[in-house]
Structure 1
Amino acid sequence: MKIVVQKFGGTSVATEELRQQAIKRIKEAREEGYHVVVVVSAMGRKGAPYATDTLLSLTESIEPNLPGREKDILMACGEIISGVVMTAQMLRSGMEAIFLTGWQSGILTSDHFGEARILSIKPDKIFDELKKGKIVIVAGFQGSNEEKEITTLGRGGSDTTAVALGAAMKAELVDIFTDVAGVMTADPRLVKGAKFLDKLTYQEVCQLAQEGAKIIHPRAVDMAMQRQLTLRIRSTTSPAAGTLITDKEKDNIFAPQQRLITGIAHRSQITQIKLDISQLSKPSEIELKVFKAMAEAGISVDFINVSPRIIIFTVDDTVAPKAIEILKSKNLHPDVISHCAKVAVVGMNMMGVPGVMARVVEALTRNQITILQSADSYTTIWCLIEEKNLTKAANALHQQFCLD
């Protein structure tokens, strides 16, 4: 059976007009001979009547500490509403369709409410309906545990649902439909010269997504990479092919390495916290105390540099006051720089190539942008800068590596 899984995000199903565009993409897949499984997110984003955050706001003012079980039941409603509405519109369009919840689709998860992980999928019901010639619409972001309790999959859950179903059903392709026509070399809101990319490797798109590019959740990409499942990032409103995500070009070991840098990603609203521990006794114990305290408070730390003299790390601006308060309560006095941004240069082919960091520094220095902190990996160079310089930095790096 030739299967394609198509995932439509919240903005792609937010209005009747957009849902009709989604139906066009579904019809195109049918015309190409595919059996189609459609995964939907909740309609719209925060503020929209049935968006997940809107549903959560219904109880937050009543009981801010609602148990995870009840919270998951509430959050699962958004995708159910979206899926039933989409089914109704497809039936009106003359297409045979059926809606299934996550648990009706055979998605078994762990017990961790709000952040459950998919343990297995038994898509027998989906296969049965596909054999009847129906389009199967599945609620993303949800499943059930072994006790038949409703669970949700956390951030990026609908992406994960689509890829997991694609893997379980041995789909030829998973299409992730969004409000852009594919992956770009930079955020077009910052860089007017940003271009669309025809093809990316799993590693490249995962790194871009981790560094703030709102493309697809990294967990879904990692799952696709493990199963060698081909992905496409496409626009709901356009029949264009979008960006293909695969490692198949690696089969040709003589293929020319044309692209040094793939793109520029960024994250903003970051606070840098710096602690001078050079005058303190037992610095290693201080290091443990600092990071253990952050962990116990549920504060995620990033961009970590540790030396015998200094500890540097970053946190989101929203939790920075809490982090600072904790450190001061332990008689530590941090130097703090708020409103920072992390800009990342991503490229699979930079590994082993001398001079890439020099070009990054050159571009930022030429534009009088101070690097507050930096780090690198095989595929990425990160620089922490003041957020007010983010647009200038993204454009400078985009031009430096000829991405426009």
Structure 2
Amino acid sequence: MELIVVKFGGTSIGNGERIRKAAQSVVNEYMKGNKVVVVVSAINKTTDDLINIMKDAIGDNVTDKQMAEILSMGEMTSIRVFSSVIESLGVKSQFIDPFDELWPVLTDSNILEAKIDFKESELNSKKILKLLDQGIIPVVCGFLGKNSKNQITTLGRGGSDITAFFLGHSLDADEVIIVTDVVGVMSTDPNKIQDAKKLDKISVEEMRDLATHGAQILHPHALKYKDPLISAKIISYENGDLSDPGTFIVGPNEGVMMKSSMLCPEPISIIAVVGENMLKKPGLLAKLTDKLAINDINIFGISAGQNSVTIFVNKKDSIKAHRLLHDLVVEIDFLSSVSLGKEIAMLTLVSPEFIETPGIISDITKPLRENNINIVELTSSQTAVVIFVDWKDGKKAYEYVREILE
């Protein structure tokens, strides 16, 4: 017997036929002897319709409390419909909304972007286990929470996935299943490249980076709640089968935190290649990086300007890399010169929250500016910031910037 938490997205319960197929898939798992907790989103486009009606009616003169209450209607309707369909299939079910004494998700009072109170919520969620022991399938609103004043809150983007992963953790589930409108995670968007392949598995870290760069399968915020010890997968609603393999989400690796900071233990050297209109020369970066790659030299960072390309390599490889790149400068007419610069330190900060934190670059660099530490180079993605400073300032700079993650 296994305990499964399954979340159905809005598209997967987009009409009566899909709801019945979804409910049947849950009942099928129940009939195998498994315990199933269901989390549902609002029926497809319901939330958008509610928002549009509200805007047409009162414009922007709506309070956060009113907004949360109105938005909650989508999920509260879904659980009632879904639970009723399960019972029509001959299995006992109970819907659980924020007004129920069994409600598991307790939050702070940030109404529209609420954070889960883990200690209280984990304790409260155990009440659901009593229903499971009685052979009842609970159907829980995704996306919603309740604060200490018994007000409805919402968990923000990715809220229903957050609910599913959180319940998986707090109930010690064996598996969390995310049912959506795709067969799993693909090698690329199949709407753009037809021969895209489904991945059998993907790591949390890879999934997070994929999500932050536009993939709509899971919101990266939800992945912070993924328990490394619990199996999780993404499947399509099409087959109506929760045993569909889909794509498994692996990790995060034990001991690897979603937030991390690192000071590279060895000095990095800067090599600058200069030339004319380098950004307009197709294949130039490939030539530079291939020259180093075939000679087994790793690149820690690279930045390009109109008339220069800066490459960061380990100091121990710098002399060899300098010579190899000089050979290219001599061969290629539009390149002028190459220089080997000073030793620098590389600091790396990683957090899935960076993407949703306005001014994070300013927050990170402020203590360096205040302590007169010069930044040689800075690169960033949606979840990581890499800073290069003088080697002599490395340890001190690291202590300043790592505090941002605490």
Shorter-chain TM-score: what band? 0.5 to 0.7
**Aligned-partner residue type, residue 107 of structure 1:** V
Could you tell me the TM-score, scaled by structure 1's length? Answer: 0.60
Kept in 1: contact 2:79–2:139 (CA 8 A): yes
**Aligned-partner residue type, residue 76 of structure 2:** I
**Aligned-partner residue type, residue 194 of structure 1:** A
Counterpart among 128, 134, 137 of residue 135 in structure 1: 137
Structure 1 Cα separation of the partners of residues 36 and 156 of structure 2 = 25
**Alignment length (residue pairs):** 262
**Aligned-partner residue type, residue 231 of structure 1:** A
Counterpart among 80, 84, 87 of residue 84 in structure 1: 80
Structure 2 Cα separation of the partners of residues 233 and 118 of structure 1 = 23
Q: 1:208 aligns to what?
A: 210
Structure 2 Cα separation of the partners of residues 67 and 250 of structure 1 = 42
Instruction: Give SS of 1:44's match.
Output: coil
Change (3 A) 1:379 1:67: closer
Structure 1 Cα separation of the partners of residues 99 and 223 of structure 2 = 23
Kept in 1: contact 2:236–2:246 (CA 8 A): yes
Identity, in percent, stands at: 34
State the Cα distance separating 1:376 from its structure 2 match: 6.0
Structure number, greater radius of gyration: 2
Instruction: Give SS of 1:108's match.
Output: coil
Instruction: Give SS of 1:194's match.
Output: coil
Change (3 A) 1:249 1:220: closer
Q: 1:54 aligns to what?
A: 49
**Deviation string, structure 1 residues 36-86 (Cα, Å, up to 9, x no partner):** 0000000012xxxxx112112222132413010111011111000011011
Kept in 2: contact 1:102–1:140 (CA 8 A): no
- Taking the TM superposition and a 5 Å limit, the aligned residue runs for 1:1-400 are 2-45=2-45, 51-61=46-56, 62-102=58-98, 104=100, 105-120=103-118, 121=121, 122-225=124-227, 227-238=228-239, 239=241, 240-247=244-251
Kept in 1: contact 2:212–2:382 (CA 8 A): no
**Deviation string, structure 1 residues 120-159 (Cα, Å, up to 9, x no partner):** 3212431121111011100111111011111111111000
Structure 1 Cα separation of the partners of residues 93 and 238 of structure 2 = 21
Change (3 A) 1:221 1:32: farther
Structure 1 Cα separation of the partners of residues 27 and 187 of structure 2 = 30
Which structure 1 residue ranges, 5 or more long, are not aligned? 46-50, 252-297, 308-373, 381-404
Structure 2 Cα separation of the partners of residues 377 and 112 of structure 1 = 24
**Deviation string, structure 1 residues 264-321 (Cα, Å, up to 9, x no partner):** xxxxxxxxxxxxxxxxxxxxxxxxxxxxxxxxxx9958999x99xxxxxxxxxxxxxx
Instruction: Give SS of 2:106's match.
Output: strand
Q: 1:270 aligns to what?
A: none
State the Cα distance separating 1:102 from its structure 2 match: 3.8
Select between 215-224 and 181-190 the one with higher mean Cα deviation.
215-224
Structure 2 Cα separation of the partners of residues 203 and 36 of structure 1 = 27
Structure 1 Cα separation of the partners of residues 156 and 115 of structure 2 = 9
Structure 2 Cα separation of the partners of residues 107 and 9 of structure 1 = 18
Could you tell me the TM-score, scaled by structure 2's length? Answer: 0.59
Which structure 2 residue ranges, 5 or more long, are not aligned? 256-355, 366-378, 386-406
Q: 1:390 aligns to what?
A: none
**Deviation string, structure 1 residues 350-399 (Cα, Å, up to 9, x no partner):** xxxxxxxxxxxxxxxxxxxxxxxx9669999xxxxxxxxxxxxxxxxxxx
Instruction: Give SS of 2:153's match.
Output: strand
Kept in 2: contact 1:224–1:230 (CA 8 A): no
Structure 2 Cα separation of the partners of residues 11 and 116 of structure 1 = 24
Structure 1 Cα separation of the partners of residues 361 and 188 of structure 2 = 21
